Structure 1
Amino acid sequence: MESTPLLQVHKDSEDRSKLGNLLKANIVLLIFHLSSYMRSPVLSQYLYQRYLSELVDNGTDAFSTSATSKCFVNITDPIYQNHVQAEEMSNNLRVMFSYISVPLSIITSTLLGSYSDFIGRRILFVVPLMGEGLRNALCTAIMYWNMDLRYMYIGEAITGITAGYYGVNLVSYVYTADNTPPKASRTVGMAVLDFTSYFAAALSQAGTGYFIQYTGFVWPSFVTSALVFLSVFITVVLLPETVALEKKQSPCVAPTKAIKNVFGFYFSKDFGRKRTLFWIAFLALFVTTVGDSGTGYIDYMLVLNQPFCWGPEMIGYVNMAAMLLNQFFSVAVVKLFHMCSTDEMIAIGTALVRGGSDVLHGLAYTDFMIYAQTVLSALAVPMMPVIRGIVSRLAPAEIQGSLFAGLTVAGAVATMLGMTIYGAVYDATVATMRGFVYFTCGGTRVLTAAILVVFYCLAPGILRKVKSETVIINEETHIATTPEKPDLDS
């Protein structure tokens, strides 16, 4: 005779995180992010150096893959204007990349995320990873043969069609939600994803600086492609599927139904009063992403010239230190403040700290100010994973893929919007006050904090009413089973 009821055993298993699955997924993400964080400085510095070579040499000399560059502290030097123009041209090309890849990624992420609820998660890993690998391989060929930079548009189209970086982020959040219960441990799981990302960045940054300095740009670009294809291999061989076979449905689901599933959280009557909370959390995440996306590649442009005049090695050292700090604080801050606070308060506090970090970045004119800004920024790292954890706990387990597909779409739109706005701001102010763009980013953090305050005030009352209505309905109809998955088509 059994001493423990089977239903209790099943409930206990659902309340525990599946650490084995999470570990394997984080290995895949670690390898992918090693590639991603290596590619960003390689591409940014390659474009800058190539445009600078064309401007200074007037196109008379073939472009060299050497990363060596001059830093003109005297802004009256005529060649200094070439450096400013090279920055602007590099910035404009990166913005054009986003115009190509992001709209396509929005469409693909919407469909992939929703369909993963029907056909499983592994395909959601493989498709975007393959797109990233092909894009990186094409970029390597362009660098090696000194081809026209417009060929990079093809690679951006490929990564857009396959969802690329956005797809990888999407599946990482969905897979974490699949393997964690809707409690504080899910927020920690989201923070662990950032821990993995920052750990990969810390490993790659200093090494990338040396790599660029002593081998040029081609070999680092080749390594980025090889790493992505390695992550594809590990996914196919080792990563378990989290959508049970008996729950899988025919992949022939109408695209209209898939789209309705993605956006039903905000419009479907099945979610009742919860729709208000979904909208508020959605806005908080959107505004935060706009701020995060606006200055990523501008950071490199800022320190390459006066008054900092950093080279690739110095950039690598500082980035490595930043990522190590981010890695330490990504989980530690969440675990520490969970002892005395809620997710909402953690998100509000970190948003304000990040705003202060952005303002300091904009005012920076010494190396020490950059270092101090890096520490403040690291303290605010838990902001995004906490917001994602808050949203994820509001949705049923069966449709987490659709939920994060919608959030990924929002992130893609916000990224394109942020790059466009902040790129224009940077172009307009680079010659007068290049740090001004960071002040505008700081404003988005204050707005995020205000939105989260509204969520903090409204959420307890709304969730209490939803729970009360559910209890009344169950008592009147004598229902003792778990409610079925909502139909988002209504």
Structure 2
Amino acid sequence: MGLYLVEPVVAIYAFASFLVYPLVQQYVYRRLWEELTNTTYPDHDLTSRCGNYSNHSSPHEDVQRAASLFSLYSELFSMVPSLVVTLLLVASSDRRGRKITIVLPLLGSLVYALSFLAISFFRLNLYLLVAANFVSSLFGGVGTLLGGCFAYVADLCPDGTRRTMRMAGVDMVIGLLSGVASLSTGYFLRAAGFNWPFVTAVLFHLANLAYVALVLEETVRAPADPPGPPPPDGAPPAPPRRAVLSLAHGVFALFAAGGRRRSALLVLLLLTFSSYSFANMGGLSAVTLYELNEPLCWDEILIGYGSALSTVVFLTSFAGVALLSRCLPDAAIVLVGLLSVMSGLVMIAFAKTTLMMFLVRIPMLLAIMPAPVLRSMMSKVVSKSEQGALFACVAFLESLSSNVAFAVFSSLYAATVAWAPGFTFLLGAGLCLLPIGLLGAVVIVGPEEAKEKEEEAILPQEETYPEENEPLA
């Protein structure tokens, strides 16, 4: 008998991904150092790596700039295919099932980890990583997987409060396992080099695929054959163009079928979520490069500790949602989280010592709260039969805003690292004012109580979904 537990999928994926992700920037940084300086990377000699230079452009700044632009190229090549696949897969999951949105991104991550292993082991051309990132994006990405997982959770949790907590729990699992992986990476890298962490990530992705294929149950029943005569022999039953139009119609109906009030509220919530993702992901995108830069000059162990401390942020954000949801409305919880992001980014911009860089996690203790609460607020607006279309839009906008933010902030960091390395963090903090303003519009357009009454009035009778451990008929 299978299980209706998607949290293990997210946990294993987060651990395997963050076992590799911190290594990507460090590996690229070291390879570019060797190519640009024609010297071996000084692993344990911080004076050589972060020394004082009499000229205006030190080798360290050149490597910082080149590494930031490399990240930009990688994101640009993978952004469009990942967005298209995310929208099509998650939107179609209302009819075709949620598991396809989980399996394909896992395959893409496996391809990327194997490619990284080959490039590291055989010392292949560094820019093959850009090609590997493009190929893996054809299977979707983290947005596809999370969109499918959150739609899966929405299928199982009809109650609004339970849904909020379950989605916050998924975010907490991501942070917890990513923190454990990040902490392990530094020691792993120092003890065994780059290759063994990649091998370990490959094994975890394989185990995850086995769990999804053999254990995880589907929450969406396969649709019956459409009415009408069968297609002629040799003709495809559903041409790709017709399938795309069908998906587009489903997303359009999400906004057109519920009335002006619901549509306006949904648009405002989506804009709030995407602007939060843009400011948060963009502001944090250059943290590892900032930590490698002088005057911090962190090594792989300190980077691992710093990444692992982010685990505390996910745990405290989950606890914050659990406690604050008892006494505050959803919009107030989101506002507290946005203020937490702003204060943390401002503190990073002025962090010049190791102690200060570790302490920036304190103002950011509630920075993850807006994501699960906004997802839950949106899922309460639509019916169960529209959850896939909704989370397709959410995943699409999250991936779009994150990728564009990464590209924009990487370019800005490369342009400003020589004279103002903290500029991108201040910019991210300033951009948090946009979701705060949109959140005010959400409060004006649709308080939660009025929203729920309107939902009951406009939504048709819905098909029931299985509970968490109830088998399908």
TM-score in terms of structure 2 length: 0.89
Give, as a single letter, the amino acid of the residue that structure 1 aligns with 2:444.
C
**1:40 correspondence with 2:21:** yes
* Equivalent residue for 2:213, pick from 231, 236, 254: 236
- Does the C-alpha gap of structure 1 residues 45 and 111 become closer, same or farther in structure 2, counting only changes over 3 Å? same
| SS of match in other structure, 2:445 | helix
Counterpart contact for 1:355–1:445, Cα < 8 Å: yes
Counterpart contact for 2:385–2:462, Cα < 8 Å: no
Q: 1:105 — aligned with what?
A: 82
Aligned partners of 1:166, 1:387: CA distance in 2, in Å?
16
* Equivalent residue for 2:278, pick from 258, 266, 290: 290
Give, as a single letter, the amino acid of the residue that structure 2 aligns with 1:380.
A
Q: 2:356 — aligned with what?
A: 369
Q: 1:463 — aligned with what?
A: 451
Give, as a single letter, the amino acid of the residue that structure 1 aligns with 2:278.
V
Aligned partners of 1:313, 1:119: CA distance in 2, in Å?
44
Q: 2:245 — aligned with what?
A: 256
| SS of match in other structure, 1:184 | helix
Shift, 1:73, TM fit: 4.3
Shift, 1:111, TM fit: 0.9
Aligned partners of 1:97, 1:73: CA distance in 2, in Å?
26
Q: Considering Cα pairs closer than 8 Å and 6+ residues apart, tell me whether 1 or 2 has the greater RCO.
A: 2
Aligned partners of 1:389, 1:137: CA distance in 2, in Å?
35
Q: 1:168 — aligned with what?
A: 145
Q: 1:389 — aligned with what?
A: 376
> How much is the aligned-residue C-alpha RMSD, in angstroms?
2.5
Q: 1:378 — aligned with what?
A: 365
Show CA shifts across 1:163-221 (max 9, x none): 02221111121111111124111111111011111111122122110011121112212
Show CA shifts across 1:132-173 (max 9, x none): 101110111011111112222331122211102221111121
Give, as a single letter, the amino acid of the residue that structure 2 aligns with 1:264.
A
| SS of match in other structure, 1:375 | coil
Show CA shifts across 1:216-268 (max 9, x none): 112212222221121111111110110134679799462111122124334x2
- Does the C-alpha gap of structure 1 residues 185 and 77 become closer, same or farther in structure 2, counting only changes over 3 Å? farther
- Does the C-alpha gap of structure 1 residues 118 and 246 become closer, same or farther in structure 2, counting only changes over 3 Å? closer
Q: 2:232 — aligned with what?
A: none
| SS of match in other structure, 2:294 | coil
- Does the C-alpha gap of structure 1 residues 457 and 20 become closer, same or farther in structure 2, counting only changes over 3 Å? farther
Show CA shifts across 1:76-110 (max 9, x none): 25597211111111111111111111100111111
Q: 2:64 — aligned with what?
A: 87
**1:436 correspondence with 2:415:** no
Q: 1:115 — aligned with what?
A: 92
Q: 2:120 — aligned with what?
A: 143
Q: 1:277 — aligned with what?
A: 265
Aligned partners of 2:55, 2:199: CA distance in 1, in Å?
36
Give, as a single letter, the amino acid of the residue that structure 2 aligns with 1:119.
R
- Residue correspondences, number: 449
Shift, 1:38, TM fit: 1.3
Counterpart contact for 1:67–1:216, Cα < 8 Å: no
Give, as a single letter, the amino acid of the residue that structure 2 aligns with 1:70.
L
Counterpart contact for 2:340–2:365, Cα < 8 Å: no
Q: 1:53 — aligned with what?
A: 34
Q: 2:324 — aligned with what?
A: 337
Moved more, 381-390 or 152-161: 152-161
Aligned partners of 1:141, 1:67: CA distance in 2, in Å?
22
| SS of match in other structure, 1:175 | helix
Show CA shifts across 1:359-410 (max 9, x none): 1111111223222211221222211111111111111111211111111111
**1:76 correspondence with 2:53:** yes
Aligned partners of 2:154, 2:453: CA distance in 1, in Å?
25
- Does the C-alpha gap of structure 1 residues 256 and 90 become closer, same or farther in structure 2, counting only changes over 3 Å? same
Shift, 1:470, TM fit: 4.8
Q: 1:450 — aligned with what?
A: 437
Aligned partners of 2:336, 2:154: CA distance in 1, in Å?
24
Q: 1:322 — aligned with what?
A: 310
- Does the C-alpha gap of structure 1 residues 201 and 482 become closer, same or farther in structure 2, counting only changes over 3 Å? same
Shift, 1:484, TM fit: 8.1
- Does the C-alpha gap of structure 1 residues 144 and 386 become closer, same or farther in structure 2, counting only changes over 3 Å? same
Give, as a single letter, the amino acid of the residue that structure 2 aligns with 1:146.
R
Moved more, 157-166 or 233-242: 157-166
Moved more, 436-445 or 414-423: 414-423
Counterpart contact for 1:187–1:386, Cα < 8 Å: yes
TM-score in terms of structure 1 length: 0.86
- Does the C-alpha gap of structure 1 residues 79 and 140 become closer, same or farther in structure 2, counting only changes over 3 Å? farther
Q: Could you tell me which runs of 5 or more consecutive residues in structure 1 were left unpaired when the two chains were aligned.
A: 1-18, 472-480, 486-490
Aligned partners of 1:77, 1:173: CA distance in 2, in Å?
53
Aligned partners of 2:322, 2:246: CA distance in 1, in Å?
39
